[in-house]
Structure 1
């Protein structure tokens, strides 16, 4: 029996990630064999993605322009697509790196369409629309999509180290997907466009990872509060719609009954 995937951001070890001032991994996970030898009996920490192997450059080296104030919104969009993709693949994007990348591009408007959402509501609304589309509706629809928002809130609550590790994991996924895309024979004319989209997504993720690394911790608690508030609003709106649908059905049945009488 396959056990349900337990997200790495829900594990206690996710709160103990140590990165250097340059953003690189300080504490390396203990290999599985060492864990067994020490009779610890768990490879929990190894499931938390590693931080960058090389120092993250300052943003000033990546761009001469000031970072957009909308990057917090774009981060929510990107994190949502990451969490959704891991949920979809039961935590193992490596089983189909290119497929995982295509899911990311389809869910994230920032990475897949080059969109510039201006509010958290706008970013989440697009993500939820994609999750509820026919391609993914079988996974759980709106309820599943709302649950992924909780994943985003959890990641934000872990702070900068966990966010950097998540983005590094996502960046690695994009790179592996790009390799698979290059190795495939171009069956369709869209293949070249797909590779271009993947390359652009890789650059965006790397840039926002460097940006996240430079932000003060208090940014994430504020952003998490906004995301939580938007989720609450979405749930209230859903409840209102359900009530209206129920009332409409009740009225329709009443009218039918009256007509029959």
Structure 2
């Protein structure tokens, strides 16, 4: 996997900076569950999908749209949902994309799984966790700006942004102290991506074969063989 070709940032100098001050977990007065790692996966999936959707533009009026899409795709941010596996965290995001008002092409939802794997893997062992920390740091800044933005529709919306930002702050602290878990999560995400892509391609091939046989995108209407006569 190349350093940037399979990641949501196009160039090395476009990688968002990591927060310079990350609170130690012990200062947050909470005992994290081991399942927190799958919340990381779900948030990164939503981040990757949304970054591709907006072509990396999170400025001005796009900011609230970015955040709302993120929270629509990530049940971790929207409802503090807890996942029990990498596959479940990814499939939850993909299902949210499928149920949302997004382009009907199913491939971006699957590609976001590969992007998630890339964010978890980083560029090299020396940068272990750097991509994940950069993505979450970026999201914290975007949420903060959206929270203060006049484009935020209601105080309730701002409250949602605040809770999501605080959740991301916690996840940032967790990642900074558990970088050793990320390679395994990356491998699991890559495996899920490969399985979903293979299934999607199989479905696409079957669809293409049927359309070729029909000569159209839909089967021909059934002809009435025996027409009933009115009495």
Q: TM-score range by the shorter chain?
A: 0.7 to 0.9
- CA displacement, residues 201-233 of structure 1 (integer Å, 9 cap, x when unaligned): 00110000011011143x221111111111122
- CA displacement, residues 21-55 of structure 1 (integer Å, 9 cap, x when unaligned): xxxxxxxxxxxxxxxxxxxxxxxx2x2211213x2
Which residue does the alignment assign to 2:52?
87
Which residue does the alignment assign to 2:116?
152
How far did 1:248 drift?
A: 7.3
In 2: Cα distance, 1:253 partner to 1:204 partner: 49
User: How many residues are paired up?
Assistant: 211
Q: 1:69 to 1:6 in 2, by over 3 A?
A: closer
How far did 1:177 drift?
A: 0.6
More divergent stretch after superposition (205-214 vs 84-93)? 84-93
SS at match of 1:92: coil
Q: 1:220 to 1:9 in 2, by over 3 A?
A: farther
Is 1:124 the equivalent of 2:90?
yes
Pick the structure with more helix per residue: 1
The TM-score with structure 2 as length reference comes to 0.79
Is 1:178 the equivalent of 2:147?
yes
Q: 1:222 aligns with which of 173, 184, 201?
A: 184
Does structure 1 retain, via aligned residues, the 8 Å contact 2:25–2:173? yes
Does structure 2 retain, via aligned residues, the 8 Å contact 1:8–1:48? no
In 1: Cα distance, 2:160 partner to 2:194 partner: 33
Unaligned runs of 5+ in 2: 123-127, 227-231
The TM-score with structure 1 as length reference comes to 0.70
Q: 1:231 aligns with which of 175, 193, 196?
A: 193
Which residue does the alignment assign to 2:38?
73
Which residue does the alignment assign to 1:30?
none
How large is the RMSD of aligned CA atoms in angstroms? 3.0
In 2: Cα distance, 1:245 partner to 1:86 partner: 29
SS at match of 1:147: helix
